[in-house]
Amino acid sequence: MKTLTRVFFLSAAAVAITPASAQQEEQPAQQERQPAQQQERQQQPSPQSQAQTLEELLQSVQEGAEQRSRENQQRLQRFQQARDEQQALLQEARNQLAQAEQRSEQLTAQFDQNEEQLSELNTTLQARVGDMGELFGVVRQAAGETTGLVDSSLITAQYPDRGDFLPELAETTVLPDIPDLRQLNTLLLQEMVESGQVVRFPTTIIQANGDNEEAQVVRVGVFNAITGDRFLNYNQDTNRLQSLPRQPAGRYLELAENLFEAEPGQIVAMAVDPSRGSLLGLLIQTPSFLERIRQGGIVGYVIIFVGVLGLLIALERFLYLTFAGGRIKRQRNSDTADGDNALGRIMSVYDDNRNVDTETLELKLDEAILKETPALEKRQAIIKVFAAVAPLLGLLGTVVGMIITFQAITLFGTGDPKLMADGISTALVTTVEGLVVAIPLVLLHSLIVGRSRNLIEILEEQSAGMIARRSEQEQRG
């Protein structure tokens, strides 16, 4: 009952405090709210209804307290259960850790014991093996060295599977048995014997375009392999012979064809590569004549044009002077003037002017010689100019090539010489082309000039003889 009274007073105090507080906060609007307050007073419940409400409130408070007490009790039980479980897990983990530490100690002790036992066994093995250990090392070393030799040998193309056991023998950790030693010995003997034989055998080769071809192959020891007029090399990746992407010069191909077509026991000449393919690989990289010309570039083509044109002019002049010289020689042996040669035309001038005096005749003959001289000295100056221009063009190509080389050095440095090869090739090839053109043109120019001067001297000599005969006739007359 005291509790109900306390609750009631608290409620009444709350009701009393609330209007006072509201009156202080809402004094300006108090008059507007008075009708509403009067209406609320009319609607307030009676004392009996208030008592029922308080009992319900008390009951609700008690039920809520009991509910919270039960929930707290359940929560506490869950916490205690979780704590017990964690304690159990912790204890289990500690037990496992102790077992693992004990196991680790046991394994460590066993490992140390095994190490000691292994050391004792190795000592015993070394003592029992004795000289066999050196044999084991020699066999492994020989097998390793022979593996590389066999893999790159042309003989393997004929016997593909002969070295399959070598990698295993080179990496073995046990002493080799007698069959392995005999097999290694047989392989080494086979390599020595086959390296000195020329053998023909059928096999599948890879053509330059990648197609397979069944062909007869002639193997020259371990140095060369050919089929027809083609050289072959051994590809370790495919374990097959393949045609070279580019064949060497024709003279080597002719030797290969002669060997391929030779009868058993016949002795023929053959170019052998003692480096087992290295020299042949470098040989096929050597530029051909046309490739050398292309390396000269535009300047090289100009030099070649000048040289060809100069040679044609020189050839035309040489043939002209040769035929003209032959006609003049025939005319010297004949007293009848022939108009198809220079000497005959000069003799015609002499015959046409027999009645003039000696001085006039001399002038007439000199005039005829002067008319014939340009035809004999024609185009000699052009040949001389071409002979002088060709080395200058070669020098121009040298400068251009050096400029290209320095540009390559500026851009890429000097690490890769192949990047500078273009400019160097242009410089060297144009220099060679200029000299190759200039030297023959100089010689031909000298030859043509000498031949033309010889013919002119013959004309002058014959003209002087005619004048001398005329003077003798006048003195006698």
Each residue of 19-36: pLDDT tens digit?
333 333 344 444 444 444
Alpha carbon distance 54, 66 (integer Å): 18
Stretch 345-357: mean pLDDT: 83
Asked if residue 377 and residue 247 are part of one domain, the reply reads: no
Tokens of 86: 């964690």
Number of structural domains (the chain) is: 2
Last residue of a domain, one of 283, 311, 338: 283
- The residue that leads in pLDDT, 3 or 304, is 304
Mean pLDDT over each residue of the chain, to the nearest integer = 81
Q: How does residue 108 score in pLDDT terms, banded at 50, 70 and 90?
A: very high
pLDDT of residue 133: 66
Q: Could you tell me if residue 70 is inside a domain? A: no
Q: Could you tell me if residue 110 is inside a domain? A: no
Asked if residue 320 and residue 224 are part of one domain, the reply reads: no
Alpha carbon distance 75, 79 (integer Å): 6
Query: What is the enclosing helix (H) or strand (E) of 59?
Result: helix 47-129
Spatial CB neighbours of 149, under 8 Å, sequence gap ≥ 6: 191
Asked if residue 450 and residue 339 are part of one domain, the reply reads: yes
Stretch 289-293: mean pLDDT: 83
Asked if residue 338 and residue 248 are part of one domain, the reply reads: no
Q: How does residue 52 score in pLDDT terms, banded at 50, 70 and 90?
A: low
pLDDT of residue 355: 80
Q: Hey, what amino acid is at 263?
A: E
Stretch 245-269: mean pLDDT: 85
Q: How does residue 51 score in pLDDT terms, banded at 50, 70 and 90?
A: low
Last residue of a domain, one of 255, 283, 311: 283
Bridge-partner residues for 444, per DSSP?
none
Tokens of 15: 């009701």
Q: Could you tell me if residue 68 is inside a domain? A: no
Q: Could you tell me if residue 106 is inside a domain? A: no
Bridge-partner residues for 213, per DSSP?
205
Q: Residues of 378-395 as b/e, b for ≥16 C-beta within 10 angstroms?
A: bebebbbebbebbbebbe
Residue 183, number of CB atoms within 10 A of its CB: 15
Q: To the nearest whole percent, how much of the chain has pLDDT over 90?
A: 17
pLDDT of residue 129: 63
pLDDT of residue 33: 47
Alpha carbon distance 214, 256 (integer Å): 19
Asked if residue 278 and residue 361 are part of one domain, the reply reads: no
pLDDT at 360 over 50: yes
Stretch 67-90: mean pLDDT: 89
Contact yes or no for 429/396 (Cβ under 8 A): no
Burial of 336 (0-12, 13-18, 19+ CB in 10 A): exposed
Contact yes or no for 287/296 (Cβ under 8 A): no
Where is mean pLDDT largest: 3-7, 53-57, 87-91, 294-298?
A: 87-91
Q: Where are the alpha helices (DSSP H) in 333-420?
A: 342-352, 358-376, 380-412
Residue 274: give the domain boundaries: 196-283
Q: Could you tell me if residue 451 is inside a domain? A: yes
| CA separation, residue 61 to residues 7, 64, 256 (Å) | 12, 5, 119
pLDDT of residue 132: 67
Asked if residue 350 and residue 314 are part of one domain, the reply reads: yes
Asked if residue 310 and residue 455 are part of one domain, the reply reads: yes
Stretch 57-75: mean pLDDT: 87
Q: How does residue 3 score in pLDDT terms, banded at 50, 70 and 90?
A: very low
pLDDT of residue 49: 54
Residue 189, number of CB atoms within 10 A of its CB: 10
Last residue of a domain, one of 251, 283, 315: 283
In this structure, what are the phi and psi dihedrals at residue 213, rounded to the nearest 5 degrees?
-145, 130
Question: What digits encode the pLDDT tens for the residues 125-149?
Answer: 777 666 666 777 788 888 888 888 8
Q: Could you tell me if residue 103 is inside a domain? A: no
| CA separation, residue 253 to residues 248, 256, 283 (Å) | 7, 5, 13
Give the residue among 257, 139, 131 at the shortest CA–CA distance from 147.
Answer: 139
Spatial CB neighbours of 39, under 8 Å, sequence gap ≥ 6: none
First to last CA, the chain: 199
Whose tokens are 């029922």? That residue is 52
Report residue 219 CA to chain centroid gap: 30
pLDDT of residue 39: 47
Residue 195, number of CB atoms within 10 A of its CB: 15
Q: Hey, what amino acid is at 198?
A: V
Question: What digits encode the pLDDT tens for the residues 416-427?
Answer: 677 677 778 778
Asked if residue 430 and residue 332 are part of one domain, the reply reads: yes
pLDDT at 46 over 70: no
pLDDT of residue 27: 44
Asked if residue 337 and residue 246 are part of one domain, the reply reads: no
pLDDT of residue 178: 84
Asked if residue 245 and residue 329 are part of one domain, the reply reads: no
Q: Could you tell me if residue 84 is inside a domain? A: no
Q: How does residue 166 score in pLDDT terms, banded at 50, 70 and 90?
A: confident
Q: How does residue 314 score in pLDDT terms, banded at 50, 70 and 90?
A: very high
Question: What digits encode the pLDDT tens for the residues 375-397?
Answer: 888 889 999 999 999 999 999 98
Residue 377, number of CB atoms within 10 A of its CB: 17
pLDDT of residue 36: 46
Residue 59, number of CB atoms within 10 A of its CB: 10
Q: How does residue 210 score in pLDDT terms, banded at 50, 70 and 90?
A: confident
pLDDT of residue 13: 35
Burial of 273 (0-12, 13-18, 19+ CB in 10 A): buried
Q: Could you tell me if residue 266 is inside a domain? A: yes
Q: How does residue 307 score in pLDDT terms, banded at 50, 70 and 90?
A: very high
Contact yes or no for 364/348 (Cβ under 8 A): no
Contact yes or no for 276/156 (Cβ under 8 A): no
Asked if residue 274 and residue 224 are part of one domain, the reply reads: yes
- The residue that leads in pLDDT, 49 or 102, is 102
Q: How does residue 312 score in pLDDT terms, banded at 50, 70 and 90?
A: very high
Alpha carbon distance 29, 63 (integer Å): 42
Specify the range with the lowest mean pLDDT, choosing from 29-33, 66-70, 229-233: 29-33
pLDDT of residue 26: 41
Stretch 416-443: mean pLDDT: 84
Asked if residue 445 and residue 312 are part of one domain, the reply reads: yes
- C-alpha gyration radius of the chain: 60
Specify the range with the lowest mean pLDDT, choosing from 50-59, 170-179, 360-369: 50-59
Question: What digits encode the pLDDT tens for the residues 315-347?
Answer: 999 999 998 888 888 888 877 777 788 888 888
